[in-house]
Structure 1
Amino acid sequence: MPERIRLGIGCPAYIEGIPAPYGYVPSLGAGIAFCVLFGLSMILHTIQFTWKRQWWASVFSIGCLVEVIGWAGRTWSAQCPYNSTAFLMQISTLIIAPTFFTAGIYVLLGRFIQLLGPSTSILKPTLYLWIFCTCDVISLVVQAIGGGMASGEADKINGNTAPGTHIMVAGIVFQLFSITIFVACAIDFVRRTMRRRLLVGATIPLFGAMILSIICIYVRSIYRTIELSQGWEGYLITHEAYFIALDGAMMVVSVGVFNVLHPGWLLPEKISERDEEKEEGVGEGLGVERMERERYQGPLTNW
């Protein structure tokens, strides 16, 4: 094997018989397409959160930017499949990027709970961000350590990448576990709000967007867990179609749905003082419904 290919330097073209780090040559078209999609979503999110002064929603723009960097690395790899910088660039960023999307969802669910009342959740609104973001950070640190160990061994002749890979798998399994707990909390929230019929007006499609985004992120997490558990030469990791469909496409839908149904436009900022005088169950729902109808249809004249 040529030394420059073994070391992953320069930009050598693909050579038949010498496998690339991916197990295939990444698609140039897919790389460009996802760079464009995430780039457009980033621009729209930046305009939207700036216009409505929803600064917390900037996490969606940041996540899109990280996705663009990752897919730029894969686009680079389409021309330079043996370049280790491009490979590490995409693998590190595309693991990190969804964390920004989940952070936005944690905040959004907390806003829903603040709006509809504490009885809709088993946790306080602020705890969602602190607990689950902390879990995400721990997961990313563990994955980064494992990835660093694995990449270091990959550069050696007959290097053992197994320990680093196992650490990466442990990190992503922990992340899947924390997302599973969050999904369980979200399901409990859905059950409580549906039973009390608290969702009204424009909050309904926004709530649906949040559920769709969670599902996409959860599907992606399951895929990445299975992918890494199979190792660097496993079936999923060496077939790009699965990565495009179960990572790239899932993340586009996950963040893009909030371009169409942005919290800045659809989520009321606060409940008026008279609506804060809640009675049990029904009283709370009536207050929210009154607030929603006044926001979108004008003041209630007859209740």
Structure 2
Amino acid sequence: MAQLEPYKGGFYLWNYLPSVPAAVIFILLFLAATAAISWRMYKTRTWFCVPFAVGGFCEFIGYCARASAHNKTGKLMPFVIQNVFILVAPALFAASIYMSLGRIIRSVRGEKYSIIRVDILTKTFVAGDVLSFVVQGSAAGLMATGDNAKMGEQIVIGGLMIQIIMFGLFAVTAILFELRLRQHAKPTNGLGLAWKRGLNMLYGVSALIMVRSIFRVIEYAMGQDGYPLRHEWTLYIFDSVLMFFVMALFYVWYPDGIQPQSFENVMLDT
């Protein structure tokens, strides 16, 4: 029967035995979601969604490692893999989300309504996202060692705060763009609603990732003795479920219709 085992010098990587059934459920969910989005991306040639698909694959790998860790709680590799891959996957989702906004703005020829120039908008947000990804990824492994665990947690918090700040700026940019565009856009048929649907998708997935990131900050701020890191259900409710819904929303409102020709009947005042 599986039981908690120390890694080195009495230091425990886990505060609980990882649940195999819970991990398997999300292995299957993220595998299905990643396959569906990858197929749709291939069919529509929307290659800007590659980071999103890679993020889904990272989630899949992460939960495979959690399932494996059930009988290997004293082993370093399963812990590090699940910690890193599950932690950084939303940063990959964010890259495609940021690129989607730039495409929406160009699709409706609404560059003049964006508070950030479109030619630097995507670069700015993706650069912040890459920084968040690098900071979180580089620090996640430090939490596997007792001496550096606290430092690793603090660095991860820093990476998550970068992500939260960038999403906050992104939300402000998207909302102000929509408010300005609504004053000038005159859709003459149903196609004119596509950009609104695209923005609603971005708002939905961004809010879910924001909630998840705030939870992660609280989780690491409370430390190894805090309630979240000692109870596995918090991860599944405030991370796993939310990230699966992010993938589901992205698939349902997939941004393959964000093309200039899709908005020929959206007339903008000059």
TM-score (norm 2): 0.86
- Residue identity in the other structure for 1:234: G
Match of 2:71 among 40, 61, 79: 79
Q: Confirm whether residue 254 of structure 1 aligns to residue 242 of structure 2.
A: no
The CA deviation at 1:20 is 5.1
Asked if residue 139 in structure 1 is aligned to residue 132 in structure 2, the reply is yes
Which of residues 53, 57, 71 is equivalent to 2:49? Answer: 57
What is the CA distance between 1:231 and its match in structure 2?
1.3
Match of 2:169 in 1: 181
**Identical positions, percent:** 26
Structure 2: stretches of 5+ with no match in the other structure: none
Residue 142 of structure 2 corresponds to residue 161 of structure 1: no
Deviation at 1:150, TM superposition (A): 3.5
- In 2, distance between residues paired with 1:97 and 1:149? 18
- Is 1:194 aligned with 2:182? yes
Determine if contact 1:34/1:71 at 8 Å carries over to the other structure: yes
Q: Which amino acid in structure 1 is aligned with residue 174 of structure 2? A: A
Can you list the C-alpha shifts for 1:39-72, whole angstroms capped at 9, x where unaligned?
A: 1111111111111111112222111111100111
2:253 maps to a residue whose letter is: L
Counterpart of 2:13 in 1: which secondary structure? coil
Given that residues 176 and 225 in structure 1 are in contact (C-alpha distance below 8 angstroms), is that contact kept between their aligned partners in structure 2?
Answer: no
What's 1:32 paired with?
Answer: 24
8 Å Cα contact 1:109/1:125 also seen in 2: no
Corresponding residue of 2:37: 45
**What amino acid does structure 1 have at the position aligned with 2:171?**
V
Distance 1:126 1:175 in 2: 21
CA offsets 1:193-223 (integer angstroms, 9 cap, x no match)? 3344567333333332221111111111111
Number of aligned residues: 261
> Offset of 1:6 from its aligned partner?
3.3
3-state DSSP class of the match of 1:48?
helix
SS state at 1:201 partner: helix
Q: Retained in 1: the 8 A contact 2:5–2:73?
A: no
The answer on whether the counterparts of 1:28 and 1:75 sit within 8 Å (CA) in structure 2 is: yes
| Correspondence for 1:12 | none
Aligned counterpart, 1:150: 143
In 2 relative to 1, CA 277–183 (structure 1 residues): closer, same or farther, beyond 3 Å? closer
Amino acid at match of 1:270: Q
Question: Which blocks of at least 5 consecutive residues in structure 1 are unaligned?
Answer: 9-17, 281-303
Q: In structure 1, how many angstroms separate the alpha carbons of the residues matched to 2:74 and 2:80?
A: 11
Q: Distance in 2 between matches of 1:27 and 1:275?
A: 52
Bigger shift: 91-100 or 20-29? 20-29
Amino acid at match of 1:236: P
Q: CA deviation at 1:93?
A: 0.6
Q: Aligned with 1:236: secondary structure?
A: helix
Q: Report the Cα distance in structure 1 between the residues aligned to 2:132 and 2:81, rounded to whole angstroms.
A: 18
**Deviation at residue 103 of structure 1 after TM alignment:** 0.8
- CA separation of 1:111 and 1:32: change in aligned 2, threshold 3 A: same
**Which deviates further from its counterpart, 115-124 or 93-102?**
115-124
CA distance in 2 between counterparts of 1:60 and 1:143 reads 17
How far is the alpha carbon of 1:134 from its aligned partner? Answer: 1.4
RMSD: 2.6
What displacement does 1:269 show? Answer: 4.1
The aligned amino acid for 1:49 is M
Q: 1:172 & 1:188 partners in 2: Cα distance?
A: 24
- The reply on whether 1:120 has 2:113 as its aligned counterpart is yes
2:259 to 265, 268, 271: 268
Are residue 6 (structure 1) and residue 36 (structure 2) matched? no
Which residue in 1 is equivalent to 2:212?
220
Q: Considering Cα pairs closer than 8 Å and 6+ residues apart, tell me whether 1 or 2 has the greater RCO.
A: 2
Separation (CA, whole Å) in 1 of partners of 2:119 and 2:241 = 30
SS at match of 1:26: coil
One-letter amino acid of the structure 2 residue matched with residue 179 of structure 1: F
SS of alignment partner, residue 237 of structure 1? helix
Whichever residue aligns with residue 207 of structure 1, its letter is L
